[in-house]
Amino acid sequence: MIYLDHNATTPVDADVREAMIDCLSDQFGNPSSLHGLGRKARKILEDSREKISQTIGASEDELFFTSGGTESINLALRGSLQKIDPGLLKLGKPHIITTAVEHKAVLETLEELKKEGRLEVTLVGVDSKGRVKLEDFQKALRPTTFLISMMWVNNEIGNIYPIEAIGHWVRSQKILFHVDAVQALGKLEINLSKIPVDLMSLSAHKIYGPKGVGALYILSGVKVASCHTGGAQEMEKRGGTENLPGIVGFAQAVEKIDLKNDNSRIKILRQKLESGLAQIPQSHVQGDEGSRVANTLSMTFEGVESEMGIIALDREGIAVSSGSACASGAVEPSHVLLAMGVNRGEAKGVIRFSLGKSTTESEIETVLKSFLK
Amino acid sequence: MPVMSKNLAVVAMSGGVDSSVAALLLKEQGLEVIGISMKTHETPHMDSREGGTCCTAYDINDARRVCQQLDIPFYPINFTEEFSEKVIDYFGKEYSQGRTPNPCVECNSQLKFAALLKKARELGAYYLATGHYAVKTRDTLGKYHLMKARDREKDQSYFLYKLGQEQLEHVLFPIGKYTKEEVREFARSADIKTADKAESQEICFVPDNDYASFIENELPVYKGTPGNFVSESGDVLGQHRGVHAYTVGQRRGLGVAFGERAYVKLINVEKNEIVLSDKDGLVSKGLVAQKVSWVHREFVTSGQMVEAKIRYRHKGAKAFVHINPDDSVRLDFVEPESSVSPGQAVVFYRNDELLGGGTIEKPIVE
């Protein structure tokens, strides 16, 4: 099996697996318990928190574990809405600005809050390469705007968004800035001591960690209400006994990030794949070649239906993907490509290749052969 | 494109027991099987636990689960755009023109045995199999025949009349020679999740079979305006809610004023009038059908006697079929028939064999 779907999920790293098995085998204590086993578990929990927060330039008091990226995003958006400044509420319905190319976790959560009548939402558009402009955010700003949410790296096309520049402006407006960094962690350097961000969502399984664990970074002083009521875990931000084996795996996965080596190697492989596939008539690379992560290649092939392409490749043992899937798992036209102005027909022919640490040159050659035959 | 293999079959999986067993039987025959579900429409409020049973996310999940149990690959494929255009839109349009559509026939001919068959072949599968109750045979000359299913109660050949030789070559109906009970028994002995799943409803995308409300809510462009019910002599009898809400032969839901004896005889779209009559007024001597297609034209001769079914649950009526040079036919019933509904499929049989069919254009009264 040639696995080129690392933006969907990644294989669990061997060291991560080992750390998790150790935890599962020996450390069954509840971190909230006062006895020895509990204290041991609590130490493992806080050590993990420390490792991850140090890697992203945060303090350990600013990192809160969740069940994954989607929950982190929900906590960031719903939790900050819950704690909104009452003075702002007097001006009218709270307003959030985000982009049209966000992950469904953001778009659907905001849509739901909008339907509930709790906020208003402006979606900032993108150009044909999927780029955003700071001035579009500036134009969308209202007196009632309390938060701007945007992704750092797009999961479908791999664009890297100018979080730092936008962050500085957002900070100057005294509004909150939530960054969905689920696809950025492990692909880009994240240093929150330099970048003005208030809330940041992270996930473990995109970085060779386990599924079912993630974290929300909350800048010290930013108010977020719990969405998971129950026990007092995670400083009352997220009730429920901590998923300690998952958290240990997450920390181990973060520790194993090796940006320099991985990115330069993966980039060479992706370029080989990209230039090979570009020979196919009527194929187009989607996204911003000037600012794209190393591992992601989104291509449209005119006259091809991506779901059939994906199935045919699957039958040859090659795993790739396209846009998002609905409840039934059927492929839907990508909202990202549609936002970029790609026509519906072409958007249906998109295939996303996302490479990873284990991708080899011979795998890329096999994929190219399969496409070019 | 991979080379087509006679050993590879795609099974169209609806999430019901019939297509589940179709996949099971082919696998037991030693074929390599791929399960595919066609995602046809969105009806979030309608899932199998609330009554409806076809092609919702729950049904696609059932199909996926069955494929897991059978250890065959499964893929859902999105057909929502094609289905919306070729089936749902057609459905509303026909009602708006006072006709009674047959969406299953359209779905079979335009999606299942066209677009999906093409995709199956692209994947290298020589065969597309479905869970229809029908039987395909091949004669000594190599021609394919389409026969009624062994289980007469379940026979679905009516919905397959548009299949010609070209398609039949590549189509399999693995459960056609079994009864529904036998099919369920196969599923039970293989421990398949859908073994005792309820039957699907009549029209998969219309909740509770309430087509009038469906058109009003989902296809407002095809919603008619209120007009008059009139008698055969033209007297105004009352108000109807728009022609989209009525079918020729319909008795229920016309309003209490007419009692039990009034039926829809005719829907006059130009005048926005619906003519009511008693049961005798519904009788026709024959009908004209258009867009006729034949399983094989040479299996039938103009003027021959056939058994005609003018709707799915019709018991069949003896009739003479006169084939016109264009793709229309005139059908003369031996005994007058009631409730010939324009838009419905009329299908011709000789004994157990389906010869062909078409769309009813109009009844012949005189």
- Report how far residue B276's alpha carbon sits from residue B254's, in angstroms, rounded to the nearest whole number: 9
Contact assignment for B78 to A326 by CB distance below 8 Å: yes
- Report how far residue B150's alpha carbon sits from residue B282's, in angstroms, rounded to the nearest whole number: 32
Q: What is the pLDDT of residue B44?
A: 46
Question: Looking at the complex, does the CB of residue A315 fall below 8 Å from at least one CB of chain B?
Answer: yes
Q: Residue B53 — very low, low, confident or very high, per pLDDT cuts 50/70/90?
A: very low
Residue B48 in this model has a pLDDT that exceeds 50: no
Which of B2, B76, B122 is the closest to A330 by Cβ? B76
Contact assignment for A327 to B124 by CB distance below 8 Å: no
Q: Which residue type, as a one-letter code, is found at position B67?
A: C
Q: Stretch B249-269: mean pLDDT, rounded?
A: 82
Q: What is the DSSP letter of A188?
A: B
Q: Domain B225-277 is in which class?
A: mainly beta
Contact assignment for B57 to A326 by CB distance below 8 Å: yes
Q: What is the pLDDT of residue B46?
A: 46
Classify residue B156 as exposed, middle or buried by CB count within 10 Å of its CB (0-12, 13-18, 19+): buried
- What residues form DSSP beta bridges with A124? A99
**Relative orientation angle of helices B180-189 and B17-28, to the nearest 10 degrees:** 70
Q: What is the pLDDT of residue A303?
A: 86
Q: What is the pLDDT of residue A278?
A: 94
Tokens, residue A140: 């969308």
**Sequence spans of domains, chain B:** 5-207, 225-277, 282-364
Q: What is the pLDDT of residue B181?
A: 97
Q: What is the pLDDT of residue A110?
A: 98
Q: What is the pLDDT of residue B256?
A: 57
Torsion of CA A80, A85, A91, A93, to 10 degrees: 20
- Which of these, A269, A8, A36, lies nearest to A156 by C-alpha position? A8
Phi, psi of A45 (to 5 degrees): -60, -50
Q: Residue B43 — very low, low, confident or very high, per pLDDT cuts 50/70/90?
A: low
Residues of A in contact with B60 (CB under 8 A): 328-330
Strand B144-148 and strand B74-78: the pairing is unpaired
Fold of the CATH domain B282-364: Elongation Factor Tu (Ef-tu); domain 3 (2.40.30)
Q: What is the pLDDT of residue B52?
A: 47
Contact assignment for B122 to A315 by CB distance below 8 Å: no
**Which of B39, B40, B45, B121 is the best substitution to test chain A (most A C-beta atoms within 10 A)?**
B39
- CB-based contacts of A348, cutoff 8 Å, min separation 6: A305, A306, A333
Q: What is the pLDDT of residue A58?
A: 98
Q: Residue B1 — very low, low, confident or very high, per pLDDT cuts 50/70/90?
A: low
Residue B58 in this model has a pLDDT that exceeds 90: no
Torsion of CA A168, A169, A170, A171, to 10 degrees: 50
**Which of B78, B82, B204 is the best substitution to test chain A (most A C-beta atoms within 10 A)?**
B78
Question: Looking at the complex, does the CB of residue A330 fall below 8 Å from at least one CB of chain B?
Answer: yes
Q: How many residues does chain A have?
A: 373
Tokens, residue A285: 């690379």
Q: What is the pLDDT of residue B255?
A: 73
Do domains B5-207 and B225-277 share one topology? The answer is no
Contact assignment for B122 to A307 by CB distance below 8 Å: no
- A326 classed as catalytic: yes
**Closest Cα in chain A, distance from residue B17 (Å):** 18
B149, B133 Cβ separation under 8 angstroms: yes
Measured CA distances, B48 to B252, B268, B325 (Å): 27, 37, 46
Which 88-127 residues of chain B touch chain A by CB within 8 A?
119, 122-124
B65: closest chain A residue by CA: A328
**Closest Cα in chain B, distance from residue A76 (Å):** 28
**Which of B75, B82, B204 is the best substitution to test chain A (most A C-beta atoms within 10 A)?**
B75
Interface contacts A/B by beta carbons within 8 Å: 43
Tokens, residue B227: 């007009």
**Closest Cα in chain A, distance from residue B311 (Å):** 32
Q: Which residue type, as a one-letter code, is found at position B304?
A: Q
Q: Quote ipTM for the complex.
A: 0.87
Q: Residue B258 — very low, low, confident or very high, per pLDDT cuts 50/70/90?
A: low
Instruction: Please state, rounded to an integer, the average pLDDT across all residues of chain B.
Output: 92
pLDDT tens digits, residue range B102-115? 999 999 999 999 99
What is the distance in angstroms between the CA of the first residue and the CA of the last residue of chain A? 19
Contact assignment for A328 to B57 by CB distance below 8 Å: yes
- CB-based contacts of A373, cutoff 8 Å, min separation 6: none
Residues of B in contact with A323 (CB under 8 A): none
Contact assignment for A330 to B60 by CB distance below 8 Å: yes
Residues of A in contact with B118 (CB under 8 A): none
pLDDT tens digits, residue range B209-226? 899 999 999 999 999 999
Residue B317 in this model has a pLDDT that exceeds 50: yes
Q: Which of A34, A326, A327, A330 is catalytic?
A: A326
Contact assignment for A327 to B75 by CB distance below 8 Å: no
Question: Looking at the complex, does the CB of residue A314 fall below 8 Å from at least one CB of chain B?
Answer: yes
Q: Stretch B54-60: mean pLDDT, rounded?
A: 76
Q: Which residues of chain A have pLDDT under 50?
A: none
Contact assignment for A315 to B123 by CB distance below 8 Å: yes
- B67 classed as catalytic: no
- Report how far residue B63's alpha carbon sits from residue B194's, in angstroms, rounded to the nearest whole number: 8
- CB-based contacts of A146, cutoff 8 Å, min separation 6: A80, A81, A84, A85, A88, A94, A95, A96, A175, A176
Residue B361 in this model has a pLDDT that exceeds 80: yes
Which of A307, A315, A327 is the closest to B57 by Cβ? A327
- Report how far residue A153's alpha carbon sits from residue A207's, in angstroms, rounded to the nearest whole number: 14
Residues of B in contact with A331 (CB under 8 A): 77-78
Domain B5-207: assigned CATH number: 3.40.50.620
Q: What is the pLDDT of residue B55?
A: 56
Contact assignment for A326 to B61 by CB distance below 8 Å: no
Residue B276 in this model has a pLDDT that exceeds 70: yes
Contact assignment for B60 to A314 by CB distance below 8 Å: no
Residues of A in contact with B56 (CB under 8 A): 328
Which of B60, B64, B78 is the closest to A332 by Cβ? B78
- CB-based contacts of B30, cutoff 8 Å, min separation 6: B7
